Amino acid sequence: MGEIIYEVVQRYLNYSNKQGPGEAGKKLHVVNVTIHRPIISGTRCPLKRLAALVHKLLEPFPKKVSSFVQDTWDLLRKLPKTVQPGSELISLDVKDLYTNIDNDLGFKAVEYYMDKHPELTHNRLGKNFILRSLQTLQENILYEFNGEIYSQENGCAMGKDYGPTWATLAVGYLEETKLYPQIRRHYPTEIADKFEKDYQRFQDDTLLINEHGVSKDLILELFNNLHPQLEFTSENSETELPFLDVLITIQDTTIETQIYHKKTDSFNYLHFGSNHPWHTKRNIPYSLARRIRGIVSNKGHRIQSYLELRKRLITKKYPRPLIDDALKKAESTPRLTIINSGASKNAKEQTNITTLVTTHHPVLDKIGAEIITISARAGLDCLKGTKLVHAKRQPPNLKRLLTRTNIFTKPKKGVIMCNKPRCGLCIHGHNNLLEGESIKLKNGKVITANKLINCDSTNLVYCIICPKCSEFYVGECKTLRARMNLHRNHSNPGNITTPPLKVNQHLKTCADGHFLVFPFHVVHTNHQITREAYEKHFQKVLQPTLH
């Protein structure tokens, strides 16, 4: 299966490379930035599917990185309750992490963790497939900017499925092979062990509780020496510091936590009158209140956060009794239960779920519920041991209806038949049209189509070839089908008048009026002067003999 997917992607890339980088054959520029909108996207793109597969295969490995923080709840589980007097909080951030992880470092990191934890590697696809797939993906990161196609030379593009895993493993590899050994060379074992235990990282954001007076300048220097392309910046405080969505505070020797809101947070919660399932709108107040209950450790701060949340939800027209019930229910739940809820889930139970997904609509909701009920009563063998769940996806809003993702498919170029029953050019008529991406002329020169062209195309430069002696003619036309009808009429042996063009005179006597045509260049405008200029250019380059 893995080899098949890999070969399909390779064939796709080979085909794309033949077609050229852009609609007008523009050069493929090599850059080392990722500021442009990615154009490899869409679920039908083979590279997109391969990226999703690689992400799934690498998903278990970040959890084996000692500094790995999965989410807010994981951070709260790992934070100590108390610290030594005089401790300080240090936060480090990597500048442009994704684009500065070169391919060599990324491949080394992935291979390092796959060798360290071979039991996590897929038993059928294997290590070789993952590394080859990563190489294919990293070498084919393309971007579109101002009509030009760019290829990213190094680093991982933002938005890649496997990007967070790639970044986590790369920095984890540097930590285990360079950072921790350096710390142990500078400090005693006790301090080094405490450093590794208290050091937490979520992709490019790191948190360290410095309890033993380790030099901040030395820590920053060690981090900046991990890799020449990675630049770290640091921030420290003895009182409070934000990390993820948590504001960590040191009160004497106690660690307290609150919810951290950025200044740009608009608190734009879903309006209660929106077209969403009732259970979704009903659960929003409880979910927000539950988040406050889990993160905010001080009761006084928690009550203040509840009051602010209540005020915001009322402005979104949520019923006051619904809000009050949610706050009461959240406060009655033990904080440790909320924090540990994510860690206590049984992975086996999560996989034994069969989900029916429908777009939210009053009619579809009833149909979906009925299907679930009937399926449960039927007792089908394929559904034994599974839990049936009806999920509702959000219907497309106005923005989604008016905009679409720019799916990258390098434009096809070549000549194809329209296959209309009454078309004189196609196989159903006189079969004049030559199909293909390019043709080789009698004098050895090759002409290639610059766009996708068929019998209905307009504003063209075309090449007529005699099927008997392969002599050829280059001309221009506004409408391909009309011009070929004219050539066919003038070349007809039954026509007693002398054709005005040399090409028609030749076809009339040499090929009994039959000819082949290959339209190869679409002119960007419908002005005849422009078409004639292109015609003269190609006549000079190709040197046709029937003029």
Please give the C-alpha separations between residue 341 and each of 76, 333, 334, 344, 407, in angstroms, as whole numbers.
12, 11, 11, 5, 39
What does the pLDDT look like over 131-162, one tens digit per residue?
A: 888 888 888 877 777 767 777 777 887 778 88
Question: What would the mean pLDDT of 517-532 be, rounded to a whole number?
Answer: 90
What does the pLDDT look like over 323-343, one tens digit per residue?
A: 999 999 999 999 999 898 766
- 322: pLDDT confidence band, cut at 50, 70 and 90? very high
| pLDDT (0 to 100) of residue 293 | 93
Q: Which helix (H) or strand (E) holds 484?
A: helix 480-490
How many CA atoms are closer than 13 Å to the CA of 198, on its beta-carbon side? 23
DSSP secondary structure, 315-383, as one string: HTT--HHHHHHHHHHHHTS-HHHHHTTTTT--HHHHHSEEEEEEE--HHHHHHHHHHHHHHHHHT-GGG
Is the per-residue pLDDT at 18 higher than 50?
no
**What values do phi and psi take at 243, rounded to 5?**
-150, 125
What does the pLDDT look like over 65-90, one tens digit per residue?
A: 988 998 899 999 989 888 888 888 99
| pLDDT (0 to 100) of residue 16 | 41
Is the per-residue pLDDT at 8 higher than 60?
no
**Tokens standing for residue 253:** 């020797």
Longest Cα–Cα distance of the chain, Å, equals 110
**Tokens standing for residue 388:** 């049936």
| pLDDT (0 to 100) of residue 22 | 37
Cα separation of 12 and 27, whole Å?
A: 20
Q: What are the contacts of 184-188 at 24+ separation with CB within 8 A?
A: 186/218, 187/212, 187/214
Query: Taking Cα atoms as reference points, which of 227, 234, 107, 233 lies closest to residue 174?
Result: 227
Cα separation of 35 and 145, whole Å?
A: 9
Contact 54, 232 (CB under 8 A): no
**Tokens standing for residue 517:** 């045509």
Contact 514, 429 (CB under 8 A): no
What does the pLDDT look like over 209-263, one tens digit per residue?
A: 888 777 888 888 889 998 888 889 989 888 899 999 999 999 888 999 999 998 8
**Tokens standing for residue 352:** 């034994």
β-strands 353-359, 387-393: how paired? parallel
What does the pLDDT look like over 405-434, one tens digit per residue?
A: 554 445 578 999 888 888 888 877 888 899
**How many CB atoms are located within 10 Å of the residue 7 CB?**
10
| pLDDT (0 to 100) of residue 517 | 94
Q: Model's pTM, two decimal places?
A: 0.61
| pLDDT (0 to 100) of residue 347 | 43
Is the per-residue pLDDT at 3 higher than 70?
no
Contact 395, 388 (CB under 8 A): no
**Please, what is the angle between helix 163-174 and helix 46-58, to 10°?**
40
**Tokens standing for residue 529:** 């002067």
| pLDDT (0 to 100) of residue 405 | 52
| pLDDT (0 to 100) of residue 441 | 92
How many CA atoms are closer than 13 Å to the CA of 259, on its beta-carbon side? 21
How many CA atoms are closer than 13 Å to the CA of 9, on its beta-carbon side? 26
| pLDDT (0 to 100) of residue 19 | 39
| pLDDT (0 to 100) of residue 125 | 82
